[in-house]
Structure 1
């Protein structure tokens, strides 16, 4: 039996058609619900809906990774050259018969392809957003910079999705793919807030103090470091390197190989030399993520206290504490319950929610152009 080519573009038009069909649902919903609204209002709604679907896509991506379905279809963009597992049933059956516990099964193939369908639909929605922003740029007096960056970024995400498959779950690529999904959430959230600011009077925008803005940026940066470490834990399957808490392997400082654990460019399960990655290296990956998590939780608590006591933003403080508690609970569940699927997906969801929340607050804290923008009229257009 001939080996399947890693890239087979024969089903690409059918996949694009499926993505368009899926995207037509949200587009029709926004059009019907907001057909009498201004372009700015429709863009705000469509951006918010695309953000929601992208959040779902990030969670489904985590589900795909955690169910070992990333290679459910070993080629890209289709499945054995077909647009769905139905057309590839013979090839999938043969692969499953040859290796019953291998990466290719019917359920894994469907999970992988559904992820690709959703990703294509999100790409279509972002293309629509960029196109509408271009057509309405003069009327809305909005820059095209962020819509075009988002369009470029979703294309880049597609490329990383392809590399995830063709490079056989290469840890660095999979981690970058996760970070790219989080960055896509941030880009969409930024635009959603900008459109909302366009529809509100300038007096509605109250900037926090300089100290608070610096604190938000510091928290934002620390969060990205922790997400990268979490992605590295997941893609190297290092979650169960420590199965107890608060110690690891019964020790406060277990045997660890940091050099082996943080070799960035290497195959899954191997060191750069080609040797199998040792268990102390997996321990170093896990424990580093855990130690940084302590710092993140303390930083979240400190920022929540600052927002409540210094800025009078009690709702924002409660949101931070709630998300921090969620991450603590789901993170602990991954360890002591030995990585249950629900807890693992929920942990990714908590990180994604923190990205969305902090991006929104930072955008509101830096309302560039809002103070001098013309106020909207009754129809939502700038006067």
Structure 2
């Protein structure tokens, strides 16, 4: 079970990376308007664009099998846990949804706003798969009455006001991620040249690509402030458990790193390092969102009555 869940999480992370690679290299049209074939062939012509696009499709198909297997396995072994079922079938749902959206984008060209959702759904699938794998690995779904249940960690203590901050940060971070994906799909990365200033100004003229890129910067800066506040609040023993303090610290580190990786994307726009920095940015953003989702699970569990919980903590 754990092997399938872990493979699903790693696979979804790879899909996120390959999706960003497709967008950054302009390979979305590498297979024309054919799907699931590529330019009418099962094995496409060996052009860079077609191979990148077709590899993305192939990996998605393989990972989908892992996700399906994890969902079936969860139902057979862990259906007593509503939490495990939610993550397993949530992963399956968002995997199917992002695959359908990707197929429609090939056959019927979609707007940049819709295509940005493609990355957002993939991110939700990755986070669900990650939480399922972590839960299984740490014995979070041990059934009631099992001798191993007594070994599970109790629900973390998280003050109500902290739970609101955590949920708010996770929801807001998804909005920031969506805006970032919109920047990528509208090719607005070059709208703001230079960092931290935008085209040499604190507040540039907000039109076109400049406005889109600047909006993403402001949104990311606000997210960093929110994460700093959460990390500070979590450092107080009366507000949270050691587990949440550790998770909030990870969230802060990853948020800081993704801010500077975003800056490196701007600094390398006209160099050969641009693709690498852009992919690193995707990895860090995915990790940050995954940690925030984990913190949401902790907050959710802390708000539940002990007797109603499938297990106590991830």
> Quick check: TM above 0.5?
yes
Alignment TM class, shorter chain as reference = 0.7 to 0.9
Which of 207, 211, 224 aligns to 1:284? It is: 211
Match of 2:113 among 172, 185, 192: 172
State the partner residue of 1:211.
Answer: 161
Calculate the aligned-residue CA RMSD, in Å.
Answer: 2.3
CA distance in 2 between counterparts of 1:298 and 1:319 reads: 15
Contact 1:185 1:355 in 2 (8 A): no
| Long gaps (5+) in structure 2 | 143-148
Matched, 1:318 2:249: yes
**Shift of residue 172 of structure 1?**
2.0
- 1:76 equivalent in structure 2: 35
- For 1:374 and 1:214, locate their aligned partners in 2 and report how far apart those are by CA, in whole Å: 23
SS at match of 1:113: helix
Q: Deviations over 1:64-85 (max 9, x none)?
A: 2111111111121121222222
SS in 2 for 1:366: helix
SS in 2 for 1:128: helix
The residue correspondences of 1:1-383 to structure 2 (distance < 5 A) are: 43-74=1-32, 75-85=34-44, 89=45, 106-136=47-77, 141-143=80-82, 144-168=85-109, 170-195=111-136, 196-199=139-142, 201-256=151-206, 280-310=207-237, 311=240, 313=242, 314-338=245-269, 340-367=274-301, 371-372=307-308
Contact between 1:193 and 1:360, CA under 8 Å: does it hold in 2? no
Aligned residues: 290
Higher helix proportion (structure 1 or 2)? 2
CA distance in 2 between counterparts of 1:374 and 1:65 reads: 41
What residue in structure 1 maps to residue 145 of structure 2?
A: none
TM-score, normalised with respect to structure 1: 0.70
Asked which structure has the greater CA Rg, the reply is 1
Asked whether the 8 Å contact 1:233–1:286 carries over to 2, the reply is yes
SS of aligned partner of 1:231: helix
Whole-angstrom CA distance in 2 between matches of 1:142 and 1:321:
30
Instruction: Render the CA deviation track for 1:195-229: whole Å, top value 9, x for unaligned.
Output: 33124545443232222211111110110110011
SS of 2:231's equivalent? helix
Structure 1's 156 and 369: CA in aligned 2 closer, same or farther, altered over 3 A?
farther
- C-alpha distance after superposition, 1:91-139 (max 9, x if no partner): x7xxxxxxxxxxxxx01111111111110111111111222233335xx
- Relative to structure 1, is the Cα distance of residues 374 and 297 closer, same or farther in structure 2, using a 3 angstrom cutoff? closer
